[in-house]
A and B are shown apart, each in its own frame.
Chain A
Amino acid sequence: MPEQLLFAIEVTLNGLMAGVLYALVALGFVLIYKASGIFNYAQGVMALFAAMTLVGIMQGQVPFSHLINAVFGTEVHHFGWHVPGVVAILLTVGVMVVLAWMVQQFVMRHLVNQEPIILFMATIGLAYFLEGLSDLMWGSEIKKLDVGLPQGLNAWIDETTFNLFGYGFFIDNLDIVATIIAALLVAALVAFSQYTKQGRAMRAVADDHQAALSVGISLNFIWVLVWSVAGFVALVAGIMWGTKSGVQFSLSLIALKALPVLMLGGFTSIPGAIVGGLIIGVGEKLFEFALGPALGGATENWFAYVLALLFLVFRPQGLFGEKIIERV
């Protein structure tokens, strides 16, 4: 096979892997949107917050140490212990549940029945708040996250493809693990929403708030649950991205990448989030590969948006979204 084609295939594969990570973030959006009609802009910052908390707990950082030192003139930084990865992940899940409860208690409860766009802007405010909070809590420097996921070039694929085509494909181990975890996560989410009582209640709320309320489902509880699940998804995404490129502010910007994924796939569809993620992931890598050099590079910044924008003009509800019906 010609070199160019092989290279294109490699780019496509890498794009698929990146797309899985986009889809992972987009999943959190879809969950909250389906259950409460809220478009949660803060999902990306939640991933950042989760990853920061995970690192902080693992390294035994004292929360707000910077602020405490500034106010009281003390010199505290670390508790001096190291928490193993699994325990730290469980603790972080706990923190995310508390966060979900607080969001529900202090923000969303008061905004029931508002217009979607008001809710959207509220989540932008929430995103700013969380960003400031996570920086204040754990410090804003770039942190390394290592929970024991394999990283680096997958030697087996490299060798096999080299023997077959005379050209070794570069595939990152982490991407493969991320793909497997994302698949498991989706399977678990589907099973949860199909086969458990709470999952069914969640779907009922998503279908019709008032009807769900009238058969005795607690909206407050379901919303806390949904935000917790979204927090968990954010944590998984945060671990993946954090392991890949370090825990830092730019992590929250993946939310911005997940938005066009959602627009393409449709806000209400879990398969849409996955397919949209893959399309965007492959599309932007191939576009950069094919036309990037001619256009001056870094087309990845806007390609996804322009693609989604053009697509929406022809099909406003996205690939798998429900048709938008409006009545006066």
Chain B
Amino acid sequence: MPVVAKKLEMQHLAWRAGFGETLPVISGWEKRRRKEMVHKVLTGPKHAAFESVDVINATDLPDYKRAKDMTEEQRKTVREMNTQGIKDLNVAWMNMMQKSEHPLREKMSLFWHGHFACRTQNVLFNQQLIGVIRENALGNFGDLLTAVSKSPAMLQFLNNQQNRKQHPNENFAREVMELFTMGRGHYAEADIKEAARAFTGWGFDADGQFVFREKQHDDGVKNIFGKSGRYNGDDVLKLLLEQQQTATYITTKIFRYFVDDNPDDTLIQSLSGKFYQSGYDIKTLMREIFMADWFYDSKYIGNRIKSPVELLVGIRRTIPMAFEQEETMLVFQRILGQVLFYPPNVAGWPGGRNWIDSSSLMFRMRVPQVILYSQVLNVRPKELTPEMGDGGNYKMTLQINDFLKKQFAKKVNARINWEPYLQGFSDIPRENLADAIAGALLQQPGNVRKNLLEKYADTSSREGYIKTVTIDVMSTPEYQLC
């Protein structure tokens, strides 16, 4: 296995377990042992309390129990609060990714956000779901699975509110097996039917609290995976966790997300075995991966296509910035194909090469220029369509589309704080600057030639030089990878 330099190793860790770190941070990591750094990445800063990304209190919104009696004016207010709330939530989470001292939590949450893909236009439901995902992102998978499965957002999205003893609705049971735990082809249709019976009665009330409606629950005996009992929903989740296949399925997905698009069967087998034995401890699995020598094999380094959110957050983490209108981030996300809280379907974002087509690639390479030179976006994203199928959220979606349209012709005004970034290169002699910048920003710095960077650089001042070289390096195909 080709050995890579320690600096590249640490940059690799910083990118895969987060959104990249700046040169001074990496220089600090370089001096420490891998074990120490992996531990730090996994646990985050000492004594740091969990920070939520909440944007609204339940009491801020009108009483949903009264929804039927609301006037048109009140309904409009609720819709607007939801629209704005979801935008705020998106922005708040993006900002958290940018500034977090525990980026693995956010990275892992972004993974689970795609794994437990869900769409709801209720801001409180969204906020609650992302809350339980972020809290459990590095905890126990069983706890995470249970919390997500009992969230009103997911119960609503997968129609379990309509799952009743007399008329079972199988949607929830099917997706829990197909997408959340075992993956397609590892269970029978009969298992889904029986599991759906067990989930009857799971629902939520007008306050957005999980409720078990005993009268709607089918209390009879169910046969699932060759066992039988008077199972309820919790029992089904337990049965699913008992299946080794669940560990294999989750590990494969994690491998594809954190290591490589092409899963290595031998590695997955060993990793998932340990994951299963640990009782689904996510931190244990991630430690296995980040500590392994194979993780730092040069074939994995710089070969992963960043998701749009990773790309945007990565730029912002490297060069701290705030936007005049933070909601601009939604437009970037929309054009690049990943809007937080709007996964394309129940299976989430496919990832990998699916992020890339001619237009998205050319736009990705323009992003640093658009932001850092304050250009006009000039790209009109495709419209969003309302999701829930009942027309109730029609106007809200129109509002979002309207907002996206207005943004398109505007300049992207960011307040960029270059200072800490420039400071990071203060010790580096002029002749080594281009290589140092490329080396800090790219996982395969050798591909972009110094003479090309020199040619397009502003050579009138050191500061201008660093800035222009940085923007150009960020505009390369290599920067799309980590």
A and B bind: no
